[in-house]
Amino acid sequence: MKSPDQPTGLRRLCILGATGSIGTQTLDWVRSDARYSVSGLSAHQDIDGLIALGREFPDAALAAGDAAGVERVRDALGARRRILHGAQGLTELAEASDSDTVVAGIVGSPGLASTLAAVRCGKRVLLANKEALVMSGVLLLEAARESGAELIPIDSEHSALLQCLPAPCARSCIRGDTSDAGQWSQIARLWLTASGGPFWSRQDVDWAQVSVNEACAHPVWSMGRKISVDSATLVNKGLELIEASLLFSVPHSQVDVLVHPQGLVHALVEFADGSQIASLGAADMRIPIGYALAWPGRAERPVQRLDLASAPDLSFERIDARFAAVSLAREAMNSGQNAMIAYNAANEIAVDAFLQSKIKFDRIVPCIEDGLRRADPGTVRSIEDISQVQQQAISYAREWIA
């Protein structure tokens, strides 16, 4: 999407989920670096936040979650402001020709259609929405290959993997084309680290009594509620395992997870000769966001620095039997795309029910297990197929919860 006369490094951003954790941290870069401008912003519920951003970025088109939100934005910013709404509005915003970079910062399945739309337009897509990739699998990667889009993960672990990989491998991942097996033969294994969430180091947890606040109190990262619960169950790591296997085009048996409570080593690449390269940095999401914005260069604004001399001792452990979410993700990958959609859908329904105090914390993973058992083997060929499989999985999960 870069026009030939555009100076290197200039990026016109559409930020989907602009008032959320990823959106807010992306805007930190925009405000500190004149190379970045904003042409589109969306917010689902935080209309006050969207209005404030609309004032700060007067040229940006806006999208609100629903028509009532649009009315409020219009009252505040005037009738002439371009304001879209709903799922269609998100897709239009993602496709608009005045942006070359789309930050896919919407959490969960509601972000799928707009992410896919941005990829189909051949833009650079900063992928925070791992669920979109888990649901659409190779469809999203094929779309990137066809359109020439650049798909750059801003999940910290996957950003770290990109940075550890040899440059030709990283480039081929970003373009969705890892068909040149030659350069990959030197890669033996990808390692993702997991902080373990708030309960890893506690042996006395009464899983049925875990409160929403406890589950959302992540020890390392400050994030939204859904992903915080996913980190507490380690479903987040299950989703990330699928994400890594797809993005880097390696079988899940070549992707492994280490619990690393200090959260300073984000990922490692193990090579055929036994050498391992790790990526370290402060637990600051602005680092992977800055990397994706500036790729193949480096962002220039200082963010939080990691001082290894004053860092705690680094420790690594294997996931133990208390956490089944990662092995369930492997099962889902073995079964096929439908099961991956079911894994994600059952989790979304269960986490939502937990956040509304309708189910206990210890029912989330069994709900996913049931969803996997009921998923048809097989795969999807279109976004319509995805939505059909998703609807089925949602109704199974609702049944199970009821």
- 64 or 127: CB nearest Mg ion: 127
Q: Which is nearer to Mg ion, 41 or 293 (CB)?
A: 293
Location of structure tokens 């629903």? 66
The DSSP 8-state label assigned to residue 199 in this structure reads T
CA nearest to 83, candidates 57, 107, 55, 60 = 60
Largest CA distance in the chain: 63
Q: At its nearest, how many Å lie between Mg ion and the CB of residue 221?
A: 8
Q: How far is the CB of 289 from Mg ion (least distance, A)?
A: 12
Q: How many residues does the chain have?
A: 402
Q: How far is CA 349 from the centre of its chain?
A: 18
Range 181-240, binding Mg ion (CB under 5 A)? none
Dihedral angle of Cα 255, 257, 263, 269, to the nearest 10 degrees? -30
Residue nearest to Mg ion (CB): 155
Per CB under 5 A, the segment of 88-96, 119-127, 151-159, 316-324 that binds Mg ion is 151-159
| Nearer CB in complex with Mg ion: 91/228 | 228
d(CA 29, CA 182): 37
Residue number with CB closer to Mg ion (200 or 400): 200
Total interface residues for Mg ion by CB under 5 A: 3
Instruction: Indicate left, alpha or beta for 78 from its phi (over 0: left) and psi (-120 to 50: alpha).
Output: left
Beta-strand runs (E) in 112-162? 124-127, 150-153
Q: Is 155 in the site for Mg ion (CB under 5 A)?
A: yes
Smallest separation, CB 123 to Mg ion (Å): 22
- The answer to whether residue 270 forms part of the interface with Mg ion (CB under 5 A) is no
d(CA 219, CA 195): 8
d(CA 33, CA 348): 36
**Measured CA distances, 193 to 222, 250, 261, 279 (Å):** 17, 17, 9, 10
Residue number with CB closer to Mg ion (93 or 192): 192
Name the minimum Å distance from CB 240 to Mg ion.
5
CB of 159 to Mg ion, least distance (A): 9
Which residue, 156 or 249, has its beta carbon nearer to Mg ion? 156
Please name which of 328, 329, 393, 390 lies closest in space to residue 136, comparing C-alpha atoms. Answer: 390
* Residue 163 CB, nearest approach to Mg ion (Å): 14
Range in contact with Mg ion (rule: CB under 5 A) among 148-156, 168-176, 247-255, 306-314: 148-156
Nearer of residues 304 and 382 to Mg ion, judged by Cβ: 304
Applying CB under 5 A, which part among 81-89, 108-116, 149-157, 358-366 lies near Mg ion?
A: 149-157
Q: Residue 212 CB, nearest distance to Mg ion (Å)? A: 21
In angstroms, give the least distance from the CB of 115 to Mg ion.
Answer: 17
Angle subtended at Cα 291 by Cα 253 and Cα 319, rounded to the nearest 5 degrees? 30
Query: Near Mg ion by CB under 5 A, which window of 154-162, 199-207, 294-302, 380-388?
Result: 154-162
Nearer to Mg ion, 46 or 157 (CB): 157
Q: Which residues bind Mg ion (CB under 5 A)?
A: 155-157
